[in-house]
Structure 1
Amino acid sequence: MSKSIIIRDAKPSDAKIILNFITELAIYEKEPDAVKTNEQAILDTLFSEGATAHSIICLDGDEPIGFAVYFYNYSTWLGKNGLYLEDLYVSP
Structure 2
Amino acid sequence: MSNINIQIRLATVEDLEQVFSFIRQKAAFDGYLDELQATPQQLETTLFGRSPLARVLLAEVDNCAIAFALFFYTYSSFLGKPSIWLDDLFVQPHMRGQRVGTALLNYLSTLASENDCRRIEWTVNVNNDRGIEFYQKQGAQILNNLRLCRLSC
Q: TM-score, normalised by structure 1?
A: 0.92
More helix by share: 2
Instruction: Give the deviation of 1:2 after TM superposition.
Output: 5.6
- What value does the CA root-mean-square deviation take over the aligned residues? 1.4
Identity of aligned residues (%): 32
Partner deviation per Cα, 1:24-48 (whole Å, 9 max, x = no partner)? 1111112211111111111100011
1:33 aligns with 2:8: no
Instruction: Give the deviation of 1:4 after TM superposition.
Output: 2.1
Instruction: Give the deviation of 1:52 after TM superposition.
Output: 2.3
Instruction: Give the deviation of 1:19 after TM superposition.
Output: 0.7
Gap runs ≥5 in structure 1: none
More strand by share: 1
Higher Cα Rg: structure 1 or 2? 2
Instruction: Give the deviation of 1:51 after TM superposition.
Output: 1.2
Aligned length: 92
Larger relative CO (CA 8 A, sep 6+): 1 or 2?
A: 1
Instruction: Give the deviation of 1:3 after TM superposition.
Output: 4.8
Number of the residue aligned with 2:58: 57
Number of the residue aligned with 1:87: 88
Q: Distance in 1 between matches of 2:63 and 2:51?
A: 29
What SS does structure 2 have at the residue aligned with 1:68?
strand
User: Which one is further off, 30-39 or 64-73?
Assistant: 30-39
Gap runs ≥5 in structure 2: 94-153
Q: Distance in 1 between matches of 2:59 and 2:48?
A: 17
